[in-house]
Chain A
Amino acid sequence: MSFPLLTVTAALPAVGAIATAAVPAAGRVAAKWLALAVSLATLVLAGVVFARFDPGGDRYQLTESHAWIADFGVRYELGVDGIGAALIGLTALLIPFIVLAGWRDADVPDAEAGDTRGRRWRPTQGFFALILMVEAMVIISFAATDVFLFYIFFEAMLIPMYFLIGGFGDRAHASSEDEAAKQRSYAAVKFLLYNLAGGLIMLAAVVGLYAATADQLGEGTFSLARIAEARASGELELATNTERLLFLGFFLAFAVKAPLWPLHTWLPNAMGESTAPVAVLITAVVDKVGTFAMLRFCLGLFPEASSWATPVILVLAVISVIYGALLAIAQRDIKRLIAYASISHFGFIVMGIFAMTSQGQSGATLYMVNHGISTAALLLVAGFLISRRGSRLIADYGGVQKVAPVLAGTFLVGGLATLSLPGLAPFVSEFLVLVGTFSRYPVIGIVATLGIVLAALYVLVLYQRTMTGPLKAGLEKMPDLRLRELAVAGPLIALLLFLGFYPKPLTDVVNPAVEHTLSDVEKTDPKPDVPVTAHDAEAAK
C-alpha cells in the first residue's frame, strides 16, 4: 500500500477549509494567511503529483482503490492520467492567486459589522474556507475513476459555489444595495438551478449505468477500469439506444457546466455578480470539470454514442465560439464581456474534444489549462481595476494607462493572451484545436477561425475604451498596481509566456492520455493527402 498522494492532495485543502472557518472573528488576517499557506502547500503536493506522473507509464497512475459502498458497487477509486494531472496542477496553481487577489474582497467595514462582530459574523473566514472547499472537491473530481464518486463531488461543489456567488457579491454595482442583492441572489440561484437540473439528469444516467452493469455483469459497478475491461472482453454490451440515452444524460450535465450554447446563460450572470476571484474560480477551475468529464466519461464510457452525437455537438461548439465572441463585443460590463469570451473559449475546447483527433484533444486539454491561466490574468487584473473605481461599466473608464501604466500593461497582456497571440500560451492550444478540427471537419474549422478576428475585436475594443484616450474624470488619483496585486499578475504573465514558448512539459504529459482516449473511441487521425515521408524530409535536409 503506497502513500495515498491523491487523497492527501485533495484532503489538505478540505482540512484547511475547516481550519480556516474555525478561526475566530478577531483573527481574520490570520485566516487569510492560513488559507494562503494551505493553498500553497496544496500546490506543492500537486507539483509532486505532476512530477511523479510518468508519461510513459500506465494510463492511470497514483491509483487508490477501496471498497466503499459494497452493496451498491461504489468504490473509492482515484487515479490520474495526464489530463487529470494537468488539471489538478492548474487548480492548485490558480487557488493561491485567487486567494491573494481576493485578499480584501470579503472584509466587512467595521461599522457594518456592528455589534455582531466578534461572535458569529465572520465573512472573511467563510470566504476563504469556501474557496478551499471548492478546491478540494474539484481535485477529487479530477482524480475520481469511479463514476459515482465523481458524481458526488461534481454535485457537492455546487454548495460552496452557491454561497460564494450569492454571499460575496461584487461591491461595484450601479444600482442600490438592495437591487444588487437581488441580482446577486438571482445569479446564484440561476447557477444552482441550471447545474442541479443538469446534475439530476446525470443522476438518472448514473443509475441507468448501474442498472445496465448490474444486469449484464451480475454485479453493478461504477468503476471505469472494470467497465472498460468488461466492454473490451464483450461481457458488457450496451444496446445502441441505451448507450445514447446514457451518453446524453452525462453530456447534458457537463454541457451545462462547460457551458455550451444554448445552456450558457447562467455564466454571465454568475460571473458578473460575483467578485473577480470567484468569477475566476467559476470559469477557470469549476467549469473545467465539465469539459474534463466529457473527455473522461462521455468518450470513455460511451464511445459509440459519442461518435453518433459528434456532428450536433460540433455545431453547438462552433456556435458557442462565434456567438460568445459576438456577444462579448456588445457587452458594456467588463466582467460580462469576459464571461462571454469564456463561452467562446469553451466552444473551442468542446470542439477540440469532439474533433476526435490527437491535435484536437491535446489542444483541448492544453486549452483548459491555458484558458485558466489567461482568464485568471485578465479577470483578476480587471478586478483590481474595478475595485479602484467601484464600477464594472466600461464607459466609466478611459485613459487609465496614463495614471496606472503597469495595470494597463498587465491588462493588455492578459487580453493578448485571450485573443491567442503567438508567444503566449493560449495560441498553442487554440491553433492545435483549429488544426485538429480542420483536418476532419474543414468547414467547422474555417468557421471557427473567424473567432480569432472577433476575439481581437472584443479584447482591443475593451482595452481601447478603458485604458487609452483622455483620462476620464474621477480617475486622476487611481493608484497603480500594489505589491500584492503585482504578485498575482506577474507570475501568471510569466507562466503565459513560458507555456507559450515551451509547452513541451505539458504536452509530454497530455499526449499519452489523449492517445488512450482516442483508442477508447477507436479513432485515428486523418492521413495527409500527400504524405511527405520521413525519408523525403531527410533527403530534403
Chain B
Amino acid sequence: MENLIGLLVAAPLLGAAVLLCGGKRLDRAGHWLGTALAAASFVIGVVLFADMLGRDGEERALHSHVFSWIPVEGFQADVAFQLDQLSMTFVLLISGVGTLIHLYSVGYMEHDARRRRFFGYLNLFLAAMLLLVLADNYLLLYAGWEGVGLASYLLIGFWQHKPSAATAAKKAFIVNRVGDMGLSIAIMLMFTTFGTFAFEPVLAGAGETSEGMLTAIGLMLLLAACGKSAQVPLQSWLGDAMEGPTPVSALIHAATMVTAGVYLITRSGAVFNGAPDAQLVVTIVGAVTLIFGAIVGCAKDDIKKALAGSTMSQIGYMVLAAGLGPIGYVFAIMHLVTHGFFKAGLFLGAGSVMHGMNDEVDMRKYGGLRKYMPVTFVTFGLGYLAIIGFPGLSGFWSKDKIIEAAFAKGGTEGWILGGVALLGAAITAYYMTRVMLMTFFGEPRWKRDASGAVAGASPQRPDVEPVAENAADADTAHPATGAAAEPHPHESPKSMTIPMIVLAFGSVFAGGLFSLNSSFVHWLEPVTGHDHGHSPLSAAAVTSATVVVLLTGVALAWAQYGRRPVPVLAPRGSLLTRAARRDLLQDDFNHVALVKPGEYLTRGLVYVDAKAVDGAVNGTAAAFGGLSGRMRKVQNGFVRSYAVSMFGGTAVLIAATLLMRAV
C-alpha cells in the first residue's frame, strides 16, 4: 500500500510531462489523457482510503520513503511521503474535485487552440498540490508549495496575450513569494532548533523548545499561509487571479490551492499550540480577512471577483478556526472540504453562465437567466444555499461549528471573534443573495434595443468594460463578441453540467454526512486533536443567532436587488462601496507603500552604481596607479597600451621565473 502513495503524485506528473513535451500530435486526445490521469489519482486515493478505514484510528498513517533528496552533512532532506487522515482528506478533495474540473474543462476549453497545454498545466498543478499534502517534511512541502505557485502562475496567465492576465500572473507569483520567504525562514528556524524539518520529530519536539521560538516559527508559517491563502496583508493577488480561465478559478483559486495555508497551520498544530501569541495573530488575520473579503464581495459587479472576495472571506473563517487551536482544527478542515464543494460548484456555475453569455462577467448585464440555464440555476442555487449556511446544507454544518468554536475560545477574545464570525455570516448571506438575484432573477438586462446598445446602458463605462475572457484571441472560436452581438443564453454541454451536478450533491449532503455522529471529528481527531472548549453560549443559541443574521442578510439584499430592478449602470455608491470596488484600496496602498519607493530605489541605485561605485573603485585604484585617469582616456587608445604594458610586465615576470630554472 505504501508504494501507491508515490503513484498519487506520479500519475498527474506524468500527464504534465507528456502533455507539455508531447507536441501537436497530442492535441486531439491530450485533454482526455490529462483527465484520465487525474481520475487515476482519484481512484488510487479511494483505494488507499478504503485501506485506511480498515485500520484503527491511531494506526492509520502510512509512510513511504522514496529517495534521499538532498543529503548534506547534518542536513537530511528526503523525498518521503506521509499519508494520515489529514493528508487523506486533502487527497480525496484535490483529486476528486480536480477530476471533475478536468472533465468540465474538456467542454469549457473546447475552442481553445492551446487546450493540450492547459491540461498539462492542470496536471502539473495536481501533482504539486498532492506533493504538498503528502510530504512528510517541510522542505518537500515547500517544493509542492512553490510548485502550486508555478501552476497557478501559468494558469492565471494562460491567456498571456492579454496584458492584464500576464500582469495578474506575475503579481500572484511575487506576492506569494513574500509568503514563501516566511516558509523558508520557518524551515531554517526549525533546522537550527531541532536539527531537522521532518514533521514527526519537529512536532514531537515542539514541547521542548521555548515559547519564543515557537512563536517565531508560528508567525513565519502564518506569513506563508497568508500568501498562499490570500489573507490580509497578502490578499491582493486573488482578485486579479480571476483573469485565469474559470475552471482554474474553481480548482486552484477556490477549492484547493488557496486552502493550503489552512493545511499548513493545521499540520503545524503542535507548534501553534505552544505559542498562544502566534495563535492570537492567526485568529486576528482570519477575522480581519473574513470581513475584508466579504465587504469586497458585496461591491463587485464582476461575478468572478465577487466570488473571489467570498473565497477570501471563507478562508478567513478557516484560518480563524485554525487559530483557535484544538477547538477549531477539525472544523477548519471540515469547512475547507465543504467549501471546496460549494465554491467549486459556484465557480463552475459562473463559468457556465459566462459560457452562455459570450464571456460577459458583469452581473449588471445578466438577469433572469434561470429560465435559460435551468441546470446551472439549480446547481448554483444549491451552492448558494450551502455557502450562506442555510440550515441542513453543507455550509451550515461547518460554518456554524466555527462560529461556536470562536465563542468557545472564551473570554473577551471569544466574544469578539464569535461576533465577527456572526457578522461575516450576515454579510455572506447579503452578497451571495445579491449575486443570485442579479444573475438569475429580475428582468434580462442583456437584451439589445434596436440600436444594438444594451437597454439603458451607455457604451462608455470605464471600470466595467466587458472583459471577454478568451474572445480577444483569434485562435478561439468566439468570433463575434464585441458590443454588437446580443448573447443567446443557453445551457452548457453535459461535460460541464455533470461536474456541476456532482458538486451540488456535495454542497447539499457533505456537511450533514460529516456531522452525523461527529464522524469527521472522530476521523481527524487522532491527527489534529480535539477539544470542545467552554462556550458561554449554548449550541442552540449560536445556531439561532446564525439563522437570524442569515435571514437579515438575505432580506437586505432582497430589498435592494430583488424588489427593485437592478440598474445596468452601477450607481456611484457610498464612500465604502467605492473603496470596496477598489478592493478596499489594497493596490493603491501597495503602490504607494511598496511599488513607487521600490522604483525610486532601483533607479537611484542604477545611478549610484554607474557614478559612485564604479567611480569610487576606479578612484581608489587611481590613488595607487593612476588607473582612473587612464580609464577615462580609454576612447583614445592610451589605455590599451597601458594594459598591454601591464600585461607585458606580468609576462616578463613569469618568463623570468621560468628562466630561473635554466640558470
A residues in contact (CB < 8 Å) with B: 68-72, 74, 148, 152, 155, 158-159, 182, 185-186, 189-190, 192-193, 196-197, 199-200, 203, 261-265, 323, 326-327, 329-331, 358-359, 362-363, 399, 401-402, 416, 421-423, 427-428, 431-432, 434-435, 438-439, 442, 445-446, 449-450, 452-453, 456-457, 460-461, 463-464, 467-471, 501-504, 507-508, 511, 514-515, 525-532, 536-537, 540-541
What 1/0 mask marks residues of chain B from 610 to 652 whose CB sits below 8 Å from any chain A CB? Answer: 0001101100010001010001001100011001001100100
Q: Quick one: given A452-B184, A456-B177, are A197 and B643 in contact (CB under 8 Å)? A: no
Give the complex CA separation of A531 and B195 in angstroms. Answer: 6
Task: Give Cα A192–Cα B643 distance, bound, in whole angstroms.
Answer: 7
Q: Which 4 A-B pairs have the closest CB atoms?
A: A528-B195, A468-B166, A358-B73, A330-B602
**B72, B167, B660: the one within 8 Å of A464 (CB):** B167
Residues of A within 8 A of B69 (CB): 501-504
Q: Are A529 and B166 in contact, with the CB atoms below 8 A? A: no
* A530 touches which of B170, B208, B657 (Cβ 8 Å): B208
Task: Give the dominant DSSP class at B's interface.
Answer: helix
Which residues of the partner chain B approach A514 to less than 8 Å between Cβ atoms? 73
Answer whether residue B586 sits at the interface, using C-beta atoms and an 8 A cutoff: no
Say if the beta carbon of B653 comes within 8 Å of chain A. yes
Q: Does B54 contact A (CB under 8 A)?
A: no
Q: Does B75 contact A358, Cβ atoms closer than 8 Å?
A: yes
Cβ contact of B602, chosen from A148, A200, A329, A453, cutoff 8 A = A329
User: Are B200 and A528 in contact (CB-based, < 8 A)?
Assistant: no
Whether A435 touches B188, Cβ cut-off 8 Å, given contacts A262-B616, A504-B68, A507-B71, is: yes
B194 to chain A, nearest CB (A): 5
Of chain A, the residue at the smallest CB distance from B204 is A540
**Closest A residue to B639 using CB positions:** A189
Q: In the complex the two chains form, is B174's CB within 8 Å of A460's CB?
A: yes
Q: Does B55 contact A (CB under 8 A)?
A: no
B253 to chain A, nearest CB (A): 18
Of the candidates A439, A468, A503, A511, the one whose C-beta lies within 8 Å of that of B188 is A439
Chain B, range 169-188, C-beta contacts under 8 Å to A: 169-170, 173-174, 177-178, 180-181, 184-185, 187-188
Does B150 belong to the interface (CB within 8 Å)? Answer: yes
Q: Which of B206-264 contact A (CB under 8 A)?
A: 208-209, 213
Contact B660 A71 (CB under 8 A): yes
Question: A197 near B621 (CB under 8 angstroms)?
Answer: yes
Q: Residue of A at shortest CB range from B663? A: A71
- CA distance in complex: A69, B661 (Å): 5
Look across to chain A and name the residue whose beta carbon is closest to the beta carbon of B602: A330
B68 and A434 within 8 A (CB): no
Task: Please tell me if B576 contacts chain A, counting CB pairs below 8 Å.
Answer: no
Residue of A nearest to B206 (CB): A530
* In contact, A470 and B654 (Cβ under 8 angstroms): no
B617 touching A263 by the CB < 8 A rule? yes
Question: Roughly how many angstroms separate A197 CA and B647 CA in the complex, as a whole number?
Answer: 10
| CB-based contact B196/A432 at 8 Å | no
Distance between B649 CB and nearest chain A CB, rounded to angstroms = 8
Q: Are B196 and A537 in contact (CB under 8 A)?
A: yes
22 example contacts (A-B, Cβ-Cβ < 8 A) are as follows: A159-B647, A185-B640, A261-B613, A262-B613, A323-B609, A329-B602, A358-B75, A399-B161, A432-B75, A435-B188, A435-B191, A438-B188, A456-B174, A461-B170, A464-B167, A503-B69, A504-B69, A528-B192, A530-B194, A532-B195, A532-B201, A532-B202
Instruction: Please tell me if the beta carbons of B75 and A72 are within 8 angstroms of each other in the complex.
Output: no
Cross-chain contact B70 with A422 (CB below 8 angstroms):
no
Instruction: Tell me, yes or no, whether B545 is within 8 Å of chain A by CB.
Output: no
Q: Which residues of A contact B98 (CB under 8 A)?
A: none
Q: How far is the CA of A515 from the CA of B73 in the complex (A)?
A: 8
Closest-CB distance, A179 to chain B (whole angstroms): 10
Contacts of A200 in B (CB 8 A): 646, 650
Q: A186-B634, A416-B150, A541-B63 are in contact. Are A525 and B193 (CB under 8 A)?
A: no
Is B43 in the interface zone, CB < 8 Å from A? no
Q: Smallest distance from the beta carbon of A333 to chain B beta carbons, Å?
A: 11
The complex places the Cα of A449 from the Cα of B179 at a distance, in Å, of 11
Within 8 A of A (CB), among B66-86: 67-75, 79
Distance between Cα atoms of A439 and B661 in the complex (Å): 50
Q: Would you give the shortest CB distance from A355 to chain B, in whole angstroms?
A: 12
Q: Which of A445, A450, A504, A529 contacts B71 (CB 8 A)?
A: A504
Whether the pair B157, A449 counts as a contact (CB closer than 8 A) is no
Contact stretch, chosen from B141-149, B324-332, B407-415, B425-433: B141-149
A71 interface neighbour in B70, B177, B635, B661, Cβ under 8 Å: B661
Nearest Cβ in chain A — how far from B355, in angstroms? 24
Main secondary structure of the interface of A (DSSP, over half): helix
- Docked Cα-Cα span, A336 to B601, in Å, equals 18
B603 at the interface (CB under 8 A from A): yes
B101 to chain A, nearest CB (A): 23
CA distance A200 to B646 in the complex (A): 9
Alpha-carbon separation in the docked complex, A265 to B202 (Å): 45
Q: Using A529-B192, A529-B213, A537-B200 as known contacts, say yes or no to A74 and B657 having CB atoms under 8 A apart.
A: yes
Q: How far apart sit A74 and B660, CA to CA, in the bound complex (Å)?
A: 11
B174-A359 in contact (CB<8A): no
Contact of A69 among B153, B173, B174, B657 (CB under 8 A): B657
Chain A residues near B495 (CB, 8 Å)? none
**CB atoms of B163 and A540 under 8 A apart:** no
The answer to whether B605 has its CB under 8 Å from any CB of chain A is: yes
Q: Are B193 and A528 in contact (CB under 8 A)?
A: yes
Q: Is B467 an interface residue (CB 8 A)?
A: no
The answer, yes or no, to whether B540 is at the interface (CB within 8 Å) is no
Is B481's beta carbon under 8 Å from chain A?
A: no
Evaluate contact between B639 and A155: CB separation under 8 angstroms.
no
**B537 interfacial by beta-carbon distance below 8 Å:** no
Q: Is the CB of B72 within 8 A of A449?
A: no
Flag if A363 contacts B653 (CB, 8 Å): no
Are A530 and B200 closer than 8 Å at their CB atoms?
no
From 119 to 143 in chain B, residues with beta carbon under 8 angstroms from any chain A beta carbon are: 139, 142-143
Q: Tell me, yes or no, whether B606 is within 8 Å of chain A by CB.
A: yes
State the CA gap A399–B495 with chains docked (Å): 33
* Cβ-neighbour of B161 out of A359, A402, A525 (below 8 A): A402
Chain B residues within an 8 Å CB radius of A326: 601-602, 605
State the CA gap A529–B213 with chains docked (Å). Answer: 10
Contact B188 A507 (CB under 8 A): no
State A453–B171 Cα separation when bound (angstroms): 12
Q: How far is the CA of A200 from the CA of B177 in the complex (A)?
A: 43
Contact partner, B170, options A197, A358, A460, A515, Cβ 8 Å: A460
Partner of A503, one of B70, B146, B201, B661: B70
**How far, in whole Å, are A329 and B192 apart by their CA atoms in the complex?**
32
Residues of A close to B184: CB separation below 8 A: 431, 434, 449, 452
Complex contacts, B191 vs chain A, CB 8 Å: 435, 438-439, 528
Which residue of chain B has the shortest Cβ distance to A532 in the bound complex?
B201
Known contacts A189-B639, A327-B605; 7 additional CB pairs below 8 A are: A69-B660, A196-B646, A197-B627, A265-B613, A362-B72, A439-B188, A452-B177
A182 partner, pick from B143, B201, B635, beta carbons under 8 A: B635
* Closest residue of A by beta carbon distance from B472: A470
Measured between beta carbons, the chain A residues less than 8 angstroms from B181 are 449-450, 452-453
Residue of A nearest to B154 (CB): A412
* Cβ contacts under 8 Å, A452 to chain B: 177, 180-181, 184
The answer, yes or no, to whether B565 is at the interface (CB within 8 Å) is no
Contact of B185 among A446, A504, A508 (CB under 8 A): A446
Q: B205 an interface residue at 8 Å Cβ cutoff?
A: yes
Kindly identify which residue among A158, A358, A528 contacts B194, using a CB–CB cutoff of 8 Å. A528
| Residues of chain B contacted by A461 (CB below 8 angstroms) | 170
